[in-house]
Structure 1
Amino acid sequence: MIQSPTARGIAIFLLAGLMFTGMDLMAKLLASRVHITQTLWARYAVQMVIVTALITPRARQVLKTKYPRLQAVRSVFLFAASVFFFAAYLRLDLAESIAISQLSPLWLTLGGAIFLGERFGPARLIAVLIGLCGALIIIRPGTEAFTPWSFLPLIGTLCYAGYALTTRFVGADEDVWTSLFYSALFATVVLTVAMPFTWVPLERSDIPFLIGIGAFGAAGQLFLIRALSLTEAGILAPFFYCSFLWAVIFQITIFGDLPDTATLIGALVIVAAGLYVWRRETRKSA
């Protein structure tokens, strides 16, 4: 049993990464058949339905927030990140898009130091940079990965880092379910208004994937919010890289694409950076 709050936060964060990668996989599978607005609407509308159903018995308590403006900012940041990431799946491979998104830890660690006053010692910096090097080994700058479409997930990383930092600032002062509800509120309202203008008839086989996108997204948000309430953003930052490992696994099992030598080397570097932070930080907080 994991006793340390830091260790629990890291473990929960890894689960969040798995949920989000599963969501991304389903979005990628639908990218060529379903309009992006419909996919995004399902992502947030399903989350709203799930969360609303679960909080109904204590809705009055859950809907009270100490940080209404920050909750609004969080919702906008998350919506913007989703737009850029989902748009990238129209042209980029799942693993390729998620590999580029691995720049998020750098922005998150720097933002945690600048805006939240978190420690930013050499050990954290080295771990994040090592993980970033692993991602760059996989991306291989100068190859076809760096197309204009590659800027979509890059911008998405900045938006996602903004969301994670505001979530960390809200932290334990806010009920997890309060943050989960408001995370999807802005996107659900905007996309519901846009739906009549972008609706495309769906195949029955697409509906389970759309529901799955929302369910996986809701679970990922719940785990992420909980992890950030337990552990500093700078500690969690290197573990963003593990989402790429999930993407590689899905790429192999679903699309039949085997990773090459560079991908395997980069993945090992990413794992090494994450394990280094896990061991160092959990020892300190034990």
Structure 2
Amino acid sequence: MTQQNTRLGIWLMIATTAVFAAQDGVSRHLAGTYNVFMVVMIRYWFFAAFVTTLAMRQPGGLRHSVRSAFPWLQLARGAILIAEICVLILSFTRLGLIESHAVFACYPLLIAALSGPILGEKVGWRRWSAILVGFLGVIIILQPDSGVFSPWALVPFAAALLFAVYGLLTRFVARRDAASVSFFWTGIIGAVLITPLGLTHWEPMTAPDWGWMAALCLMGVLGHWLLIKAYAVAEASAVQPFAYLQLVFASAIGLTLFSEVLRPNVAIGAGLVVAAGLFTLWRAQVRARAARQS
């Protein structure tokens, strides 16, 4: 992998996080007025059309994308991701973008902690130490010992846990399923599962908000396209740390557009979570490099 490609991959990841942060801002706006299930359903209809179009352009077409060695796990992945998206958007409307993303940023630590029991991977004492530091940061953000603690503060943590399990299942099915297969199943299963809930909670939408809905769908497709390109031109280990910039971009949107407040405990806790996550990613790179050399 050349330095030029790595640099391009980093810029693509930065663009990805900016687009996803903007998507979260629009999601918060729409979900503050309309039912979360309806908003996510329309978004997934567009996403399903996108993955179907991609699948048709792949060698083997739809038949290749449908064929999975782990159909039940793929079904579980799709269900978990749609649940995670609904829970996280609900968190945006209750807590705001800043606090939701500050807690959600712990999902790489949850992946590291669960990789042992789910994937059978060894987690050394250094990574366990980083995981504990990260969870200390989450506790600082949530302030469970304060008199103003709200159970809603646990909602983004639940979203992070769901996303961590989704990520681990994605790594597991990748042992035999191509990325294009998992991508197709994710979009189709999510659309199938959310549609009954979305139609049940259908609400009339104003013309301007239909414009925001269209922007939300387009940003979802653009974000996934940028992410695919980032991983195509650079190693995941080189670009993954920059995914934390979504917390920065989302916080900026929360501060400027939604008049949210960055409390000191959230800033300190988020700093610990991000630092622990970056250390965990670095240790994973060190272990992978040592494994290749041996």
RMSD of aligned C-alpha atoms?
Answer: 3.9
SS across alignment from 2:250: helix
- Of stretches 55-64 and 176-185 in structure 1, the one that deviates more from structure 2 is 55-64
Distance in 2 (CA, whole Å) between partners of 1:273 and 1:85 is 22
Query: Residue 140 of structure 1 corresponds to which residue in structure 2?
Result: 143
Query: Residue 182 of structure 1 corresponds to which residue in structure 2?
Result: 185
Displacement of 1:161: 2.0
Displacement of 1:7: 11
Displacement of 1:21: 3.5
Matches within 5 A, 1:114-125: 114-125=117-128
Distance in 2 (CA, whole Å) between partners of 1:159 and 1:68 is 19
1:159 matched to 2:198? The reply is: no
On the 8 A contact 1:131/1:241 being kept in 2, the answer is no
Displacement of 1:248: 1.8
1:45 matched to 2:45? The reply is: yes
Q: Match for 1:247: what amino acid? A: A
Q: 2:216 aligns with which of 204, 213, 226?
A: 213
Q: Using the aligned pairs only, state the percent identity.
A: 28
Q: 1:2 to 1:170 in 2, by over 3 A?
A: farther
SS across alignment from 1:62: helix
Q: Match for 1:56: what amino acid? A: M
Displacement of 1:204: 1.8
SS across alignment from 2:34: coil
Query: Residue 149 of structure 1 corresponds to which residue in structure 2?
Result: 152
Query: Residue 22 of structure 2 corresponds to which residue in structure 1?
Result: 22
- Of stretches 256-265 and 51-60 in structure 1, the one that deviates more from structure 2 is 256-265
Query: Residue 249 of structure 1 corresponds to which residue in structure 2?
Result: 252
Displacement of 1:169: 0.5
- Of stretches 85-94 and 140-149 in structure 1, the one that deviates more from structure 2 is 140-149
Displacement of 1:163: 1.0
Q: 1:272 to 1:101 in 2, by over 3 A?
A: closer
Query: Residue 70 of structure 2 corresponds to which residue in structure 1?
Result: 67
On the 8 A contact 1:99/1:139 being kept in 2, the answer is no
1:107 matched to 2:110? The reply is: yes
- Of stretches 202-211 and 158-167 in structure 1, the one that deviates more from structure 2 is 202-211
Distance in 2 (CA, whole Å) between partners of 1:119 and 1:239 is 25
Query: Residue 99 of structure 2 corresponds to which residue in structure 1?
Result: 96
Q: 1:111 to 1:281 in 2, by over 3 A?
A: closer
Distance in 2 (CA, whole Å) between partners of 1:157 and 1:129 is 16
Deviations 1:162-219 (A, max 9, x none): 2111001112532222211111222311333344432211112222332343444455
Q: Match for 2:31: what amino acid? A: A
Displacement of 1:283: 5.2
Query: Residue 56 of structure 1 corresponds to which residue in structure 2?
Result: 56
On the 8 A contact 1:7/1:282 being kept in 2, the answer is no
SS across alignment from 1:169: helix
On the 8 A contact 1:102/1:135 being kept in 2, the answer is no
Count matched residues.
283
Displacement of 1:79: 1.6
Q: 1:216 to 1:95 in 2, by over 3 A?
A: same
On the 8 A contact 2:38/2:199 being kept in 1, the answer is no
On the 8 A contact 2:70/2:173 being kept in 1, the answer is yes
Q: 1:278 to 1:245 in 2, by over 3 A?
A: same
TM-score normalised by the chain length of structure 1:
0.79
Displacement of 1:69: 1.2
- Of stretches 27-36 and 263-272 in structure 1, the one that deviates more from structure 2 is 263-272
Deviations 1:4-43 (A, max 9, x none): xx99999987776555443322211112212212111023
